[in-house]
Amino acid sequence: MSKTSRSTFVRGTRRYFIYFFLSIVLIVLTVSASFEIIKRTDLLKLEKVSIDGESERLNYHLEQDLSAYFGINLYRLDLELISDSLKTRYPIISEIDIKRRILSSLKVKYLMEKPFAIVNFTDGKNYYTTKELKILERVNYGYLKRSLPIITTKLKSSDFKIGSVISDSLTMKMNDYLLEVLQVRQDFQEKISDVFIIDNKVYFREILRGNIVYFGKDNISEKIDLFLSYNNSFTSGLYIDLSYKDQIVTRKADF
């Protein structure tokens, strides 16, 4: 009967597991050392940034910000930290993804927040907001260019900052009203100039003739259809009340 050589490693033996463990440790140390060498080499320094996003102006500013990292090794850059700092600096960014591209570049993709309305403050300043009333940026002073319904508030813009959420009950009521209408008919957004509240009732001003319209609370879909079927026959300067079932009541607007 032949005997097993002492130098042979048999699976399941203690010696086999010791050598297997030492091999793994050696591989980890080799990889770690190689990575440290890579981080110090001049061959992987950042030289180029490419931006994929919908705003050319924001693309330019992101590229300028990231150019501060030129000359730094790609693997010494904390991409998560850089992403967080860019989202903080530009609240209009909802998502951002930064990837390394060997040998010397970064690829940046981002998505912008979707504005839902424009909030008008008492000092005349207008800001884009989301469906949750998160303030994105001031109209004409940022990266968005949208024609959206205006929500008229009694708030001061100085009480808010970019990225904060408006929790005022009246503003929320107008925003919820606008949400309800546009959930029924998204295309009706083009008919609404602004939304305002008087005596706890929400009204909107239609964009074509500036007439003030009141839908009431129920059957929004039917009231939109009724309004659209008669809209071309209305003159300007009217208050149009559709709060009654299957009826339109009009009079001269006095507010």
CATH number, span 43-112: 3.10.20.310
Q: Which of 88, 82, 132, 129 is nearest to 108 (CA)?
A: 82
Tell me the per-residue pLDDT of 69-95, one tens digit each, with 9 for 90 and over: 999 999 889 999 999 999 999 989 999
Structure tokens at 168: 């005022």
Residue tagged 């970019």 (tokens): 162
* 228: pLDDT strictly greater than 80: yes
pLDDT of residue 140: 93
Tell me the per-residue pLDDT of 5-17, one tens digit each, with 9 for 90 and over: 455 555 556 665 6
pLDDT of residue 2: 46
pTM of the predicted model, to two decimals?
Answer: 0.77
Segments making up each domain of the chain, as ranges = 43-112, 117-252
CATH number, span 117-252: 3.40.50
* 18: pLDDT strictly greater than 70: no
* Segment 22-48 mean pLDDT: 62
Residue type, 17: F
Cβ-contact 128, 97 below 8 angstroms:
no
Q: What b/e readout covers 35-63, taking b as 16+ CB neighbours within 10 angstroms?
A: eeeeeeeeebebeebebebebeebbebbe
Residue 245 pLDDT grade (very low, low, confident, very high; cuts 50, 70, 90): confident
pLDDT of residue 217: 83
Structure tokens at 156: 């001061």
